[in-house]
Structure 1
Amino acid sequence: MTLRKTELFVPAITPFAADLSVDTDRFVAHAKALIAAGAHGLAPFGTTSEANSLSVAERMQALEALIGAGISPAQLIPGTGCSAAADTIALSSHATGLGCRGVLMLPPFFYKGVSDDGVFDAYAQVIEAVGADLRVYLYHIPQMSGVPITLSLIERLIAAFPDTIAGLKDSSGNWENTAAVIAAFPGIDTYSASESLIPDNMAAGGAGCISASSNVNAAGIRRLIDGLGGPDQAAHHRQVSEVRKIFETLPLIPAIKAAVALQTGDAGYARVRPPFTATGRHHADAIAEAVRIAGAQTPP
């Protein structure tokens, strides 16, 4: 087992202006607040970021805004996986050229029932096109993508591209799968998608978490990470688990954005792009309770 630093990367929400264009000012402000609250880095343009409702140009411009505002590229693992290989190559080349730590890459996700051979070829096409500086974090979220990243596929990718495959985010919700990945591939960084699993992830030799609710509770999650093995671990774990549990009962992305809006006192953060719709009054009490438990996004 390889013990490594346990890290929190936040899949930062993408704020929108009243005309539903990307609100770069709020995006940068939220990103800076997350880093200040203790996040080790950001994983923008994933599921929580509504990335598949963003154009390639919007993603590139928003990533450049983060770096232009002083966030280190070494703290960024932007999502780049698209259905079209050309889009994935463009986004991955752009992020790599900017010096990002790596890219979080979905497999092509429109066609279902495809073989591991086909998914391998899709990843290989991108890796070979982008070049030697690319670092890929595989993104396993089969309940959304419909295309699993199997253990045999990971093994094959690492064998073919040992200097490129850097890690994996397991958003399946299946701890047994995460544990199997960590055990089989101790040389890569494996992240869970729930902060509730951080103690298990760390003990197994994983790398930490990339969690939607860390947009609201980055400080609490960082306290848990820093307190692992200490006398306050149980209390910190209870706090992050309570926040996470509330969001699991809500429309996740609209609720996270509504919670950030409540936490900051800025209603603009709550805007979502279709097909999402804003949370309703019947969600308000639960969102307020999550924010209460999370507290302010202040440094740990």
Structure 2
Amino acid sequence: MSSIKGVFSAAATPVNAHLTPDHGALVAHSRQLLADGLHGVALLGSTGEANSFSTAERMAMLEAMVKAGIPADALLPGTGLCALPETIALTRHALSLGVTKVVMLPPFYYKGVSDQGLLDAYSHVLDSIADDRLQVILYHIPPISQIPLSHDLIGRLIEKYPGTIAGVKDSGGALDNMVAMVKRFPTLSVLAGADPLLLPLLQQGGAGCITATSNLAGKQLRTVFDKFADPSATAEIDAAQKRIVALREASNSFPQIPTIKAMVAHRYKQPHWVNTRPPLVRLTDEQIGKLGPILDKVDTDFPA
């Protein structure tokens, strides 16, 4: 079995008024996520606006995290880009810092590509890197990438790179697809991309999650992960799950990524967290004003 198990945060990326990454705020947020009980920080994914940052910016953010003392084995940066040389460069850079686990999107610009084309792309990256330390979490997010990862493709990759293909983050939203992978690929860590699906996936043998609402609900997700199979913890699990679902629903009140960032701003009382890099647009003051009471109601109805 893969060693990648647990609850990981699809961490938001703070940017300052000039739209450059705020390394200090990113480090502080990551420390808080780990203090919440999360097993690791999956920075520079979809919630982290990864594809709005340059390769150099992404490298600098990862360097800042490691330099600040965030454990390398708790970091799962996204390294998949459309240009294979950039995917290789980001992944090699992570390894140079001692970061061995990465989340890797397929090349996603061209649509309707074949499994063979995706196999060739991943193979070129992994053959070029050729580092036994590397553990790759494949990233299945067809609602955004429009490039689904078929089970046949995943099986071929596991067969070709059995020590390297360690997991899949499934952000397709279909529990049945995740459960099917759990049953078909016993060595693969299947990680839910939606917070409410952590519990049912764990009950079917899944490995955990990498999710956006973990920016707010890390303690509750860890409770679910630790106690889902304990019959004596049913009430505690139910309370945690209700708060997770409520926060996830709150994050969908407005466009999700700007809303997650506004929720983090609300959590820390740090207004600059609402900033996004274009083309995403930060919530308006009116939307932020409406979000506050929604979050207050979550706290009242489902206390942390």
TM bucket (normalised to shorter chain) is: over 0.9
Q: Does the CA-based 8 Å contact 2:5-2:189 persist in structure 1? A: no
Distance of 2:97 and 2:118 partners within structure 1 = 26
After superposition, the CA RMSD in angstroms is 1.9
Q: Which range moves more in the overlay, 239-248 or 22-31? A: 239-248
> Which aligned segments of 4 or more residues in structure 1 are displaced greater than 3 angstroms?
2-6
> Structure 1, unaligned stretches of length 5 or more?
none
From the superposition, tell whether residues 156 and 67 of structure 1 become closer, same or farther in structure 2 (CA, over 3 Å).
same
SS where residue 139 of structure 2 aligns? strand
What is the aligned partner in structure 1 of residue 72 from structure 2? 73
SS where residue 281 of structure 2 aligns? coil
Distance of 2:249 and 2:294 partners within structure 1 = 11
The alpha carbon displacement at 1:28 in A equals 0.7
Q: Report the residue type matching 1:42 in the other structure.
A: V
Q: Does the CA-based 8 Å contact 2:27-2:64 persist in structure 1? A: yes
Q: Does the CA-based 8 Å contact 2:8-2:38 persist in structure 1? A: yes
Distance of 2:28 and 2:145 partners within structure 1 = 30
Q: Does the CA-based 8 Å contact 1:217-1:294 persist in structure 2? A: no
> Structure 2, unaligned stretches of length 5 or more?
none
From the superposition, tell whether residues 51 and 5 of structure 1 become closer, same or farther in structure 2 (CA, over 3 Å).
closer
What is the aligned partner in structure 1 of residue 180 from structure 2? 180
Question: Scaled by the length of structure 1, what TM-score is found?
Answer: 0.93
Distance of 1:287 and 1:82 partners within structure 2 = 35
From the superposition, tell whether residues 294 and 206 of structure 1 become closer, same or farther in structure 2 (CA, over 3 Å).
farther
Q: Does the CA-based 8 Å contact 2:15-2:273 persist in structure 1? A: yes
SS where residue 167 of structure 2 aligns? strand
TM-superposition CA deviations, 1:166-220 (whole Å, max 9, x none) = 1000000111111111111121111001221122111111111111111122122
What is the aligned partner in structure 2 of residue 36 from structure 1? 35
Quick check: 1:202 aligned with 2:206? Answer: no
Quick check: 1:19 aligned with 2:18? Answer: yes
The alpha carbon displacement at 1:274 in A equals 0.5
Q: Report the residue type matching 2:108 in the other structure.
A: F
What is the aligned partner in structure 1 of residue 212 from structure 2? 212
From the superposition, tell whether residues 32 and 126 of structure 1 become closer, same or farther in structure 2 (CA, over 3 Å).
same
Q: Which range moves more in the overlay, 73-82 or 226-235? A: 226-235
Q: Does the CA-based 8 Å contact 2:2-2:187 persist in structure 1? A: no
TM-superposition CA deviations, 1:85-116 (whole Å, max 9, x none) = 01000001111222224110000000001000
Q: Which range moves more in the overlay, 179-188 or 147-156? A: 179-188
Distance of 1:259 and 1:199 partners within structure 2 = 23
Quick check: 1:236 aligned with 2:240? Answer: yes
Question: Scaled by the length of structure 2, what TM-score is found?
Answer: 0.92
What is the aligned partner in structure 1 of residue 269 from structure 2? 265
The alpha carbon displacement at 1:289 in A equals 2.3
Quick check: 1:251 aligned with 2:255? Answer: yes
What is the aligned partner in structure 1 of residue 166 from structure 2? 166
TM-superposition CA deviations, 1:252-271 (whole Å, max 9, x none) = 11001011111101111111
Aligned residues: 295
Q: Does the CA-based 8 Å contact 2:195-2:212 persist in structure 1? A: no
Distance of 1:192 and 1:287 partners within structure 2 = 28
What is the aligned partner in structure 1 of residue 49 from structure 2? 50
TM-superposition CA deviations, 1:39-63 (whole Å, max 9, x none) = 1101001000000000001111100
SS where residue 190 of structure 2 aligns? strand
The alpha carbon displacement at 1:18 in A equals 1.2
User: Could you tell me which of 275, 281, 285 is aligned with 2:290?
Assistant: 285
